[in-house]
Amino acid sequence: MCEPEHKRRKCSPVNEESDLISPSPPIDNGSKNDENNELPNWDEYIHDLESVQKSLIRKCMCGHNLDDVQRRVIYPSKVLIKFYEGSGVLGRQALMLCSTAELLYNELLRQFNVGLMCQNLVEVRTLLPLGHSADLSSVLFRLLSSTDKFISYSSAQALYSRLRLASEPSAAILIEKIITDCIKPCVNGVFVPMHTLNHAFDILRSCVDNQNEDSHPLEEEGDLAASCVPVNIVDEQDEIDLKETCVRVLGKHWNSIVSHFHFLISSGSARTNECASVVASFLNLWKSIISVKANLSVIDTKPFYMRLETLVPLLQRNVVDTVWTNILNLLNEVLCYGSTLALQDYLPEEPCNLAHFVIRHVKSERLLERLPVIRNEECFSGTSVESVTSVTGNSDVNVLFRKLVLLVLKAVAVTVKETRCESSSENSSIFSDAGSAGDEADMLVITRSMKQVFKTLDIRVKAVLEYHPETPVAEWVAKMFSDQDDELIESLLCCLDIFTGLSDALKSQPDFQRSLNPVLSLLQLFSIVHNDSNLLLDLLVSNETCFLLYLLRVLKFIRKNWNLFVTSSSRLDEPMGTFIRLRMAINRLVTKNLFPYNIDPVMKLLQKCEDMYEGVHPDCNETV
């Protein structure tokens, strides 16, 4: 005796091909209502969805008839969408469907990762194909374009959960559909609700940021119900890298998407809050793809570096703060000096080109003057200054100005490092003698160019912020970034590397050398932390800053330039006392095996500086 048709269809196994082929929708009496466009009993519909949600919270669907689950969730009624779009009165039903779908996808993924699933959920998983006009994914896509932003958001959350559950071919199809249904129409001039675009970009960014995080402990504690029939799951499909799939699909459309948003910003269309929010979502997606944390391959990310330079000319006074901030965040991420570029022997071409472009705009295109600020007659020392207040009335644009200054510092540091790397490569050749003179000439040219950049930067900073006209660059840099640890340490590292990279050429320019003196930055850092070695230890242990790299390099600099360190410190006992206390605090942790990594290089340098200090002050231990 053969099995009923609906049972064979319901229990068919899932593989990469079958996941793309939709089984026939369930055959039930409810389909007649759909054909006749008759309203179903919505109270009963809500009750059924609530029942499914309660079962999913209990992590067991054994008490449910799978035909009902198919009819209500897997293949939801077309009438729901049709009548919602026609009258706009079914918001609650649509939200319930989206939340149920998200809960279903998340529970399927959780149990699948654990390897032990409810038997009915195993069968439900086989009923999640793509391609049928009435399947759940298709309905969620319809709701994503809803004029109701709450429904659109809920459907976006559910679609992201569906993507996490999908096989690689299915994920590629879903991502392609998000782009072609929600983003490309807007690029081609078709109206798409702004919140739909926002949510579409948020889905893609979530895919790129996707990480295989461990489940919450409370979720792991919840065993299947006693009445549940569990099934051991053997994962036969390869693990999908969702972010790589997303980036590969998105790369095919990236050029046209960038062109569209470039036009939006340059034409002034992005001045409204809604449009600016969409542009910000697009730039956040771009930043996530470029980010080092994404750990994507060079080949996959190549298309996303192609047009970064075109963003710099868009930074104009008439561009709103939201767009300014996100463009600067993106460009600063590309020039990720503290976490990546400062550690590399040879720098990639793309960040170097961007650095050159930024420097060119600072020197000849007045980039620093294009910040959206208004003039204020209140001044410091009798000179007029500009308060950092945006054209939209936001008084906290000093954060924006700080991001711009950090971008310029990174651009200079990258350019200097690039020149030094090229010089080192040439000096290793058989023509090192001939190349040495040429390298010196190149460094002199670079030094003059960087001096012009710093002069422009210094004038602009002192016109906008109330720093004394005689404050050296190395000192106001530390003051400017004092309330943001990661930016503070990265800016100090940039200044240190710029000084060491230009050290030979700076000997002939004492004023420029004195202005960039990294000892002044270090002393200002100690002043910011009130010479508290415990705060420095926190920075050293934390992985949120590049303080370890900065400390290593500044200690090496002090060891090689001890006289400069001594002459720059009016009270040498204060910074050295901080160093000595830091060494002792580190040593206590090392003795107890509590330090998270090998800190020996730092300890040796601290001890070396302490020995040199004892040669100047034999009674130094009394000052600690």
Q: What is the pLDDT of residue 129?
A: 65
Region 499-519: mean pLDDT is 92
Q: What pLDDT shows up at residue 3?
A: 46
DSSP one-letter string for 108-173: HHHHHHHTEEEHHHHHHHTT--S--TTSHHHHHHHHHT-SSHHHHHHHHHHHHHHHHHS-HHHHHH
Cα–Cα distance, 54 to 567 (Å, whole number): 72
The domain boundary residue, chosen from 205, 236, 267: 236
In this prediction, residue 92 carries a pLDDT of 82
Q: Is residue 491 very low, low, confident or very high in pLDDT (cuts 50, 70, 90)?
A: very high
Task: Give residue-wise pLDDT tens across range 170-181.
Answer: 899 999 999 999
Q: Is 278 helix (H, G, I), strand (E, B) or coil?
A: helix
User: What is the mean predicted confidence (pLDDT) over 551-570?
Assistant: 95
Q: Can you tell me the distance from the alpha carbon of 589 to that of 603, in angstroms, rounded to the nearest whole number?
A: 12
The answer, yes or no, to whether residue 25 has pLDDT greater than 50, is no
What percent of the chain lies above the pLDDT cut of 70? 78
- Place 23 in a pLDDT band, splitting at 50, 70 and 90: very low
CA distance 354 to 331: 8
Domain membership of residue 36 (yes or no) is: yes
The whole-number pLDDT of residue 103 equals 93
Whether residue 75 lies inside any domain: the answer is: yes
Q: Which of 236, 268, 285 is the last residue of a domain?
A: 236
In a domain, 230, yes or no: yes
**Chain-wide mean pLDDT for the chain?**
82
Q: Of 236, 268, 300, at which residue does a domain stop?
A: 236
150 pLDDT above the threshold of 60: yes
Q: Is the pLDDT of residue 364 over 70?
A: yes
Which residues span the domain enclosing 159?
5-213+224-236
Q: Which tokens in the block code for residue 87?
A: 């009258």
- Strands 383-387, 374-380: pairing kind: antiparallel
If you average pLDDT over each of 215-229, 405-419, 442-456, which comes out highest?
405-419
The per-residue pLDDT for range 32-60, each reduced to its tens digit, is 444 445 556 778 888 888 888 988 888 88
pLDDT of 507 > 90? The answer is no
CA distance 406 to 421: 22
Q: Give the helix/strand (H/E) hosting 473.
A: helix 473-480
pLDDT at residue number 21 = 36
Residues 6+ apart with CB under 8 A from 110: 215, 219
With a pLDDT cut of 90, the percent of the chain lying above it is 50
Identify which has the larger pLDDT, 262 or 11. Answer: 262
- Length of the chain equals 624
Confidence (pLDDT) at 591: 94
So what's the pLDDT on residue 44? 81
Helix (H, G, I), strand (E, B) or coil at 596: coil
Selected residue with higher pLDDT from 131 and 333? 333
Q: How many domains does the chain have?
A: 2
For the segment 198-205, the average pLDDT, to the nearest whole number, is: 96
Q: What is the pLDDT of residue 40?
A: 60
Mean pLDDT score, 153-182: 92
Q: Note the pLDDT of residue 361.
A: 96
pLDDT for 513:
92
Cα distance between residue 247 and residue 333, in whole Å? 17
Mean pLDDT of 524-543: 95
- 139-148, 225-234, 497-506, 555-564: the lowest-pLDDT one: 225-234
Residue 451 counted as domain residue: no
Residues 286-330 have pLDDT tens digits of 999 999 888 888 888 889 998 999 999 999 998 999 999 999 999
Q: Give 424-474 pLDDT, tens digit per residue.
A: 655 544 444 544 666 677 788 888 999 999 999 999 999 988 899 999 999
Q: What is the mean pLDDT of residues 237-247?
A: 80
Q: What is the pLDDT of residues 74-132, one digit of tens each?
A: 666 555 555 555 445 467 888 888 999 999 999 999 988 888 888 888 888 887 765 55
Task: Determine the pLDDT at residue 624.
Answer: 43
Q: Is the pLDDT of residue 245 over 80?
A: yes
Lowest mean pLDDT among 243-252, 297-306, 571-580: 297-306
Greater confidence (353 vs 383) lies with 353
DSSP at 252: T
Alpha helices in 517-561 (DSSP H): 518-528, 533-541, 547-560
